[in-house]
Copies of this chain bind each other. A is one copy, B any other.
């Protein structure tokens, strides 16, 4: 199928709108925006509009927003090329992602700087229609704790440094939206203060903070937890740690890698019960091997081996994931028994709100960007629309296309 018009009506199927779930109806798109959402299938048909009629069992959900993705399909944010970001932005719609934060890793500071310059320029000047949108940059490291490095190259880890961050911020054309750091380190509070002042999200992981240190960081402006459970202080019964703070503190929005590998399905269920869909967010933390075959791939200058969906730096260290957003979206429902609506909150609405773009992203509502994902009866991605343009359509075609 080809979408040829800027005017499009998608009808029938279950429509998960911001306000309610419609068992039928239509979504109308004009010039990249959602212009009408109706529960009636009667619409002012006009030959200006291309009409897509969905089969029984299909559904329309908002485009998913991945706040934490390093790479996909051979490309990585750290490649620092326009091509790499193009590959990411054009591949991610296959898994239902319509916008994301290009995520860096701890590396030689000059590599980080080059990547930030590249991503900043890309965001300003090179985004393409019909691709996922790069909403900004997630700076993961280098301001983290060496004791919880995980797959972040330990030799490049540094204490939080607000002056250095200001340089990075400037080089990125002010597109850094989220910083994963260890606030308990020297300079941590100062950096969190600065980020708060700049409306940049401070997030904790790769950190050995105690519960009381997390509370202190919250006082300074910490509002986010990166990949819950991975590379952080766990839930000890006499110190709740970072995991406990994610469970208990409503100030924190919480990322989780719902691949069943980084965190066991049972523990995802425990976390969901604590955090609920009010504060949990699905991310992939994927590296370049995603959508490619098993093999060896670079991550932050290190060789990572991918086998059966597991990316390992060595026998004991997971190195990012090859998780797809649509699988995170399906897994969270399987692991927790949550509803579609709840999964949509965690994959679309919460990340949009956390990034402060909920006025234009994260739900199906009048006036918002036409970022939509059509799922088939198995909740697989049938089609992804980015700002009204088809970004991905599966080869087979059950759709009536008028």
Contact = CB atoms under 8 A, between A and B. Distances in A.
Interface of A: 211, 229-230, 234-240, 243-244, 247-248, 262-264, 266-267, 269-270, 273-274
A237 B229 contact: yes
25 contacts: A211-B266, A229-B237, A230-B237, A234-B234, A234-B237, A235-B235, A235-B267, A237-B243, A237-B262, A237-B263, A238-B263, A238-B267, A239-B264, A240-B264, A240-B266, A244-B266, A244-B267, A244-B270, A247-B270, A247-B273, A248-B266, A248-B269, A270-B274, A273-B273, A274-B274
Contacts of A237: 229-230, 234, 243, 262-264, 267
Nearest to A230: B237
B234 A236 contact: yes
Contacts of A264: 237-240
Contacts of A274: 270, 273-274
A240 B267 CA distance: 6
- Name which of A236, A244, A266, A273 has the most chain B CB atoms within 10 A of its CB: A266
A267 B211 CA distance: 11
A292 to B, nearest CB: 25
Nearest to A265: B240
Nearest to A248: B266
A88 to B, nearest CB: 28
A266 B235 CA distance: 10
Contacts of A236: 234, 267
A215 to B, nearest CB: 10
A162 B221 CA distance: 57
Contacts of A238: 263-264, 267
Contact of A234 (B230, B235, B248, B269): B235
A168 B266 CA distance: 38
Contacts of A269: 248
Nearest to A318: B238
Contacts of A266: 211, 240, 244, 248
B270 A248 contact: yes
A172 B235 CA distance: 39
A271 to B, nearest CB: 9
Given A234-B234, A234-B236, A238-B263, 14 more contacts: A211-B266, A234-B235, A237-B243, A237-B263, A237-B267, A238-B264, A238-B267, A240-B266, A240-B267, A240-B270, A244-B270, A248-B269, A273-B274, A274-B274
**Nearest 9 pairs of A and B residues by beta carbon:** A229-B237, A240-B266, A237-B263, A237-B267, A235-B235, A238-B264, A247-B270, A240-B267, A248-B266
Contacts of A239: 264
Nearest to A273: B274
- Name which of A237, A239, A262 has the most chain B CB atoms within 10 A of its CB: A237
A376 to B, nearest CB: 32
A243 B267 CA distance: 11
Nearest to A244: B266
- Name which of A211, A235, A240 has the most chain B CB atoms within 10 A of its CB: A235
Nearest to A236: B234
A239 B265 CA distance: 10
A279 to B, nearest CB: 13
Contacts of A262: 237
Nearest to A270: B247
Contacts of A263: 237-238
Contacts of A211: 266
